[in-house]
Amino acid sequence: MDEALPEVLMRIVSELHDVAYLIERIEPQLLDLVDEVAVQSADCMKVLQGIDLAVQKTRGLAEFIDTVTSGISDDWMVDVSTAVSLVKLADMQKALAGGIRHGHSQPLSKAAGDFDFF
């Protein structure tokens, strides 16, 4: 089934923003786990900087795709069925296939200790 390419790309943009959000949530959790001495180590700082860089790159890719998409005609059609079938995460597969997912993949409202089996 063919879909307008801009719609598909905007779903990718949404997923990239979700990934950035999930990565961003890791940093404060790590800071809570390590003590002040560990945070002052070079290796720990590299990891924290790497997390920040991953967020920036993910958001940068999302903005790049969003901007490029604005110049693409809605007449450009693409079949994403094969590409979607290669995605292993069910929620992401559904979102990329055009199924609507509201909010982030891991909402803040989940209670501590909640988890999903996979």
Q: Which residue has the tokens 């560990």?
A: 38
Position 111 scores a pLDDT of 47
| pLDDT tens per residue, range 20-40 | 999 999 888 877 777 776 777
HEC profile of the chain: CEEEHHHHHHHHHHHHHHHHHHHHHHHHHHHHHCCHHHHCCHHHHHHHHHHHHHHHHHHHHHHHHHHHHCCCCCCCEEECHHHHHCCCCHHHHHHHCCCCCCCCCCCCCCCCCCCCCC
- Domain count of the fold of the chain: 1
Instruction: For residue 105, tell me if it sits in a domain.
Output: no
Reply yes or no on whether the pLDDT at 110 is more than 60: no
User: Residue 32 CB: number of other CB atoms within 10 A?
Assistant: 7
Q: Note whether residue 110 is domain-resident.
A: no
Per mean pLDDT, which range of 53-57, 75-79, 103-107, 109-113 is the poorest? 109-113
- pLDDT at residue 62, as a whole number: 97
Predicted pLDDT of residue 115:
53
Judge whether 107 lies within some domain.
Answer: no
Residue 72 has pLDDT above 50, yes or no: yes
pLDDT for the residue 57? 98
In a domain, residue 12? The reply is yes
Evaluate whether residue 115 is within a structural domain: no
pLDDT at 18: 94
In a domain, 66, yes or no: yes
Q: Is residue 26 domain-resident?
A: yes
Establish if 116 belongs to a structural domain: no
The boundaries of the domain holding residue 92 are 2-96
Q: Is the pLDDT of residue 54 over 60?
A: yes
